[in-house]
Amino acid sequence: MRCQVEVEANNKKEEFEIGYVAKQASGSVMMKVGDTVMIAAVARDENPVDGDFTPLTVQYVEKSYAVGKIPGGYIKRETRPGDFETLTSRVVDRSLRPLFPKGYAYPTQITILVVSSDGETDLQAMALNAASAALYLSDIPVNKVVYGVRVGKIGEQIIVNPNNTQMKDSSLDLFVSGSKDELLMIEMRAIPTMKTDIAPIAAIDPMVDPTLSEEIVTTQLSNELSNDETMKVIDVASKAIEEASKAYERAFVEFKKEDAPIELKEEKINLDIYTYISEFYKNDVYDALNKMAKSERAGELEKIVKKILSDDTAIKESWEKEVVSKVLSAFKRDVVRKMIVNERKRADGRELTEVRPISIDTNILPRVHGSCLFTRGQTQALVSVTIGSDQDAQMFDLLTTDGPNYEKFMVNYNFPGFSVGEAAPMRAPGRRELGHGNLAKRALAPLNDMTYPQVLRVVSEILESNGSSSMATICGGSLALRAAGVPTSKLVAGIAMGLVFEDDKYAILSDIMGLEDHDGDMDFKVAGTKDGITALQMDIKLGGIDSNILKEALEQAKEGKEHILNIMEEANKKIVVNEDLLPGSEIFGVHPSKIVDIIGKAGATIREIIEKFNVSIDLDREKGQVKVGGVDKAKVKAACDHIKDITSRSSARDTHRGPRKTVEFKKGEEFHGKVKKIVEFGAFVELKDGVDGLLHISKVAKDRNAKMQDILSEGDSIDVVVLSQKGHKVELGLKDSK
């Protein structure tokens, strides 16, 4: 039966259609927020798998028709998922997986389709909420509703569920999921802000009359969050989750299907084997744990299993290898957890707050722009930095933006099998690799100069892994950027924290290794500078976490982070930049009126400069900005000097003629003028008193690929109308389209 449900929480209205679409799935909804529509469906197989895990798969898919687009490329249909789709699928998986009952082993697929998008709705939060509703309404025995909320900050105002336009001005991006008062997942990043000032253009081009124009000057401000600020915004998100998840349950409870007759695998531990291991193999397990601290492989435990199976007792009782392995794993887990909570000891002998030994070597790769080998315990990352030009930027599409987007700062994380001793072939990066690379990028990006003219690619090759390889990527990446001469304002370090609960006791662990991650109750990654946090990620394996414990974990993480940063600072002092290898790039300003002189007739001058000096040139007429880049620094400098010489000669001619008098034009004033010059972006039309106006190509042709020289020619007469005037700059439109 079709039902329509409205849920209003945190000043946002959501509409759900139940029993309307995908009715053969175990559970499904059509969710609408504004003009954004998603379909979420949950399906499960009838037969469970043999393994001891929850076989859950989440697939979030964006359809191009949702925004009236046809997919680009040779194949005109949606193919492999983009990074945003993959990361969103991962967010949904991490939030919903803890809801499944223990022993659930039925292959389950959650699919979320974006079938309409208004460009303003937060697709990631909506995807999680749609999937959560579909799962709760299904016949799978899940009796909690998860809600995802994003929190932004504009100025001093904290905003719950900001739209995409508001997020452009936000200095914070916090995404939290949970159920009622239990937090399940946190992702946070600080966003640098830009301060804008106005400066006279004469500061850039002294040959120009200083009263003619002004130049916009921007300054980047770093934006790390303190522990107190972090806890404050998490508390805001927690209250929003509690309000919304309760509203979801009230709205959906009457439509929830009855639980299907599902058999849950009981985790039965053979107590006889457990007692036998405790009696005769306890010391062997302790020795194995010490060795496991040096590798994520369980080879040492496998040796113990073989020894047990060869005992007379095992033979007499006909113990099976699979059962013994399972009991030994449970015994090992109990030993690890009780050792930590009761004895305050860790498998490798460290104190709970102790960070593993760190060694750092920079620029060990002679032909790489910048590199760093960062080793912490048995985790090692080789991080390299490559500097490129605008042509090297990664192009990508998003449903929520028009046209292609370009990523100038990329972080790629690779995890080969040999890093954990596995004989596995190299494969394309999976969800885990993309997630770790994205976390490192979020941590490093706030400290990069946003006005830095060149494209940066950071690549982390994990050579050894025993926990916290994403944090090693952040530490190594921060130093590799410095080794490449990239102007970052501060060093960034990352540390992975753990948590173990046993009975009424708990212990917080700094710099966890793989064993502690596997057998612990929380994976909490914190990255930042000495002044605060730039990125944070938390996954809870328990039902939730108390805010006081979270605050304590943040304080302990701060101490560990500062310890790592002190070591990194010493390594930073020893960096010798490969100056001869680095490509050159310069940005300087000229008066906007001089851009046409740099371009020349039909682009002849700029083409000649590019070919002569082997450089790339980007011009911004609005700001009067010139960007020159190239592999050879000397040629870049020579090209800049050549361009400055061209504009200086032009300015000198203007000075010889005397100060330019500003001629006033009225909006809507019409002229029958002659086309004086054709450039790539438009045509300059003669108006009166020697003043030319710009007729931009967008006012003449709607086709983005249209060329002005195919529409008009120099000397043509044309009827134009004044649209606006700023100083000497006059914008024109066609008379017939005013």
Q: Is the domain of 293 the same as that of 392?
A: no
Q: Is the domain of 541 the same as that of 430?
A: yes
Residue 500 lies in a domain: yes
Neighbours of 477 (CB within 10 A): 30
Residue 103 lies in a domain: yes
CATH number at residue 193: 3.30.230.70
Which range is least confidently modeled, 137-141, 314-318, 427-431, 702-706? Answer: 702-706
Tokens of 630: 């190239």
Q: Is the domain of 124 the same as that of 18?
A: yes
Q: In the chain, how many domains are there?
A: 5
Residue 235 has pLDDT above 50, yes or no: yes
pLDDT digits (tens, 9 = 90+) for 116-154: 999 999 999 999 999 999 999 999 999 999 999 999 999
Q: Is the domain of 119 the same as that of 237?
A: yes
pLDDT digits (tens, 9 = 90+) for 505-528: 899 999 999 888 888 888 899 999
Single residue among 573, 592, 626 that ends a domain in this structure: 573
Residue 579 lies in a domain: no
| The predicted structure's pLDDT at residue 129 | 97
| C-alpha–C-alpha distance, residues 495 and 512, integer Å | 8
Q: What is the mean pLDDT of residues 313-342?
A: 91
Task: Name the pLDDT band for 209 (thresholds 50, 70, 90).
Answer: very low
Q: What is the mean pLDDT of residues 468-478?
A: 96
| The predicted structure's pLDDT at residue 457 | 96
Q: Is the domain of 312 the same as that of 370?
A: no
| The predicted structure's pLDDT at residue 200 | 46
Q: Is the domain of 32 the same as that of 122?
A: yes
Tokens of 530: 């000495």
Smallest CA-to-CA distance from 117 within 224, 33, 242, 198 is with 33
Residue 192 has pLDDT above 50, yes or no: yes
Which range is least confidently modeled, 52-56, 251-255, 274-278? Answer: 52-56
Q: Is the domain of 647 the same as that of 674?
A: no
Residue 291 has pLDDT above 80, yes or no: no
| C-alpha–C-alpha distance, residues 244 and 146, integer Å | 9
Q: Is the domain of 70 the same as that of 150?
A: yes
Residue listed under structure tokens 């969710």: 31
Query: For the chain, what is the mean pLDDT?
Result: 87
| C-alpha–C-alpha distance, residues 599 and 470, integer Å | 46
Q: Is the domain of 425 the same as that of 466?
A: yes
Evaluate whether 61 touches 39 at the Cβ level (below 8 Å): no
Task: Name the pLDDT band for 737 (thresholds 50, 70, 90).
Answer: low
Q: Is the domain of 251 the same as that of 318?
A: no
Q: Is the domain of 421 the same as that of 566?
A: yes
Residue 343 has pLDDT above 80, yes or no: yes
pLDDT digits (tens, 9 = 90+) for 641-681: 889 888 877 655 555 555 555 678 888 899 988 888 887 77
Considering the chain, what percentage of its residues have pLDDT values greater than 70?
A: 92
pLDDT digits (tens, 9 = 90+) for 259-279: 999 898 877 788 999 999 999
Residue 353 lies in a domain: no
Residue 266 lies in a domain: no
| C-alpha–C-alpha distance, residues 609 and 646, integer Å | 11
CATH number at residue 610: 3.30.1370.10
Evaluate whether 41 touches 254 at the Cβ level (below 8 Å): no
Q: Three-state DSSP class for 637?
A: helix
Residue 386 lies in a domain: yes
| The predicted structure's pLDDT at residue 205 | 43
Q: Which residue range forms the structural domain that includes residue 511?
A: 358-573
CATH number at residue 706: 2.40.50.140
Q: What is the mean pLDDT of residues 679-701?
A: 83
Q: Is the domain of 473 the same as that of 543?
A: yes
Residue listed under structure tokens 């890093």: 419
Which range has highest mean pLDDT (184-188, 476-480, 669-673)?
A: 476-480
Task: Name the pLDDT band for 241 (thresholds 50, 70, 90).
Answer: very high
Residue 262 lies in a domain: no
Residue 218 has pLDDT above 60, yes or no: no
Evaluate whether 585 touches 629 at the Cβ level (below 8 Å): yes
Tokens of 505: 């006791």
Residue 352 lies in a domain: no
CA end-to-end span of the chain, whole Å? 54
Neighbours of 288 (CB within 10 A): 22
| C-alpha–C-alpha distance, residues 12 and 1, integer Å | 26
